[in-house]
Amino acid sequence: MDVHRRATLAALAIFGCAAIAAQPLASASGFADVAGWVAPAVTRLAAAHIVSGFPDGMFHPDWPVTRAEMVVMAFRATHAGSDAGAPDQDPYPDVPLTAWYAGDVAAARSGGWLPFVTGATLAPDQPVTREEAVTILMEALDRAPAPGGDLSRFRDAGQVDPWALGPMVAAVEGGYIHGYPDGTIEPKMPLDRADAAALLAPLGSSVLVVDGHTYRVDQTLRMQATAYNSNEPGVGTTTATDTLARVGEVAVDPSVIPLGSWLWVTGYSTPGLPAGGILEHAEDTGGAIVGNRIDLYVGGSGTASDAFGYQNVQVQVLTLVH
């Protein structure tokens, strides 16, 4: 494929870049050489420690991704941005213990992520193809294709190797890949860093970065919110967990949201809380807080909580990663 055609197709939304969910970021990492359709994916994945840049401060989106790099990206995407520990022995003769990717490669080999490696060596520096990259990621996610799925909609489906057929079907059905506008899927094409970011983008959308800390989004709920303030009659200054009632703590029904959970709450409208969203810690309970209800602490006087009334909000239940 000539360079002009490849660049044109890349600009026309390959690998499902439109699937990136819009979520708020309080902080993120950007690169001077990243713009256009892939920028949201790269920004989010970098913040989630799934991809990273180079010492020159650039991302180099047009550079090819190696087999080793794809394994590392897939491992980080499925392990909250972390790498595997050092293995006990060389996972392959050409992957020594001292290699920065050795632990992730060892995990990938034991997990069966690399069915295309038929010999004794991985060739870690070899550019990864689209079908190899998809296979690594789908195997890492344990995504089985739906019964009866196929790739017949793509003109070059016959070029897909048998070991990649199931993962490629799973990726298409899951919205990870959508093929090219000309009706091809190009399974043998080397993957570049921009395409890899677009492939991983749906996973990056499950990560939220707030005030320099990374959280994994475990659940998204639609809930009804009310508000309270310690200046209200009958409201104390201490929560059910013996902490100080303050902005940033929330009362929940522990049968729905366990006490101690971190929450990202959006969709409210009140001068007593930051605009756009707030990180909350579930520290309190209340007799009226049952089911899909939360009670947010707001600043100001008791009239501020009265003015809040009942509001429908989005609540993302988080796990602190680092």
pLDDT tens digits, 159-188: 999 999 999 999 998 888 988 999 999 999
224 pLDDT band, cuts 50/70/90, is very high
Kindly tell me the sign of the dihedral angle through the C-alpha atoms of 44, 46, 50, 51: positive
> What are the pLDDT digits (tens) for 57-112?
899 999 999 999 999 999 988 887 788 888 999 999 999 999 999 999 999 999 99
Instruction: Indicate whether 19 pLDDT > 90.
Output: no
> Is the pLDDT assigned to residue 273 strictly greater than 70?
yes
Question: Which range among 15-29, 146-160, 271-285 shows the weakest confidence by mean pLDDT?
Answer: 15-29
- Lowest-pLDDT choice from 27-41, 55-69, 147-161: 27-41
**How sure is the predictor about 301, in pLDDT bands with cuts at 50, 70 and 90?**
low
Measured in Å, how far apart are the chain's first and last C-alpha atoms? 42
Please give the class, per CATH, of domain 211-320.
Answer: mainly beta
Lowest mean pLDDT among 153-162, 183-192, 215-224: 215-224
Alpha-carbon dihedral sign for residues 119, 123, 129, 135: positive
Global pTM? 0.62
């996610």: which residue's tokens?
A: 141
How distant, in Å, are the alpha carbons of 69, 122, 123 from that of 119?
19, 8, 10
**Spatial CB neighbours of 115, under 8 Å, sequence gap ≥ 6:** 135, 139, 163, 164
Predicted local confidence at residue 21, as pLDDT: 27
CA distance 245 to 302: 14
Residues 260-269: pLDDT tens digits? 999 999 999 8
Domain residue spans of the chain: 3-209, 211-320
